[in-house]
Amino acid sequence: MEWIDAPDIKKRIGLILKTLGLPHILINRLFVYKSYGSTGRAIARIWSLPRVWQQALHILPHYVIEVISEKFDKLSFGDQDRTLIHELMHIPKTFSGALVSHRGRSHRIDRRTVEVLYQKYKQSL
């Protein structure tokens, strides 16, 4: 599997964050990669840096969003944005290095909640 930095997608994420007003997500500690050669079912993944690693390495929380080229590139621009919004929803408001599950306490991450945010984003452009 090959990983390549994806500054074009990071720029799109920056616009999504600004438009939706998600200041808790620190773009300077968010990395975006496009991967090639994955055989999994996922379109994208979010990777966290758990607290134990933060302490061991003496670094602040960071996240990586990976988009799987074979799946992500085939999507329409709108579905790509929906996918990015979905992955961003996994980042907690504390930006702690943890991940919010699909059935989190404060909100659910599902098609309906992603669509609400996507429509808000789309209308603000």
Residue 107 has pLDDT above 70, yes or no: yes
How many structural domains are present in the chain?
1
Q: For position 86, what pLDDT does the model report?
A: 97
Question: Residue 26's domain spans which residues?
Answer: 2-124
User: Cα dist. 109→29, 54, 61, 93 in Å?
Assistant: 22, 26, 22, 14
pLDDT, tens digit (0-9, with 9 covering 90-100), for 40-83 = 899 999 999 999 999 999 999 999 999 999 999 999 999 999 99
3-class secondary structure, 14 = helix
Residue 102 has pLDDT above 90, yes or no: no
CA distance 30 to 63: 5
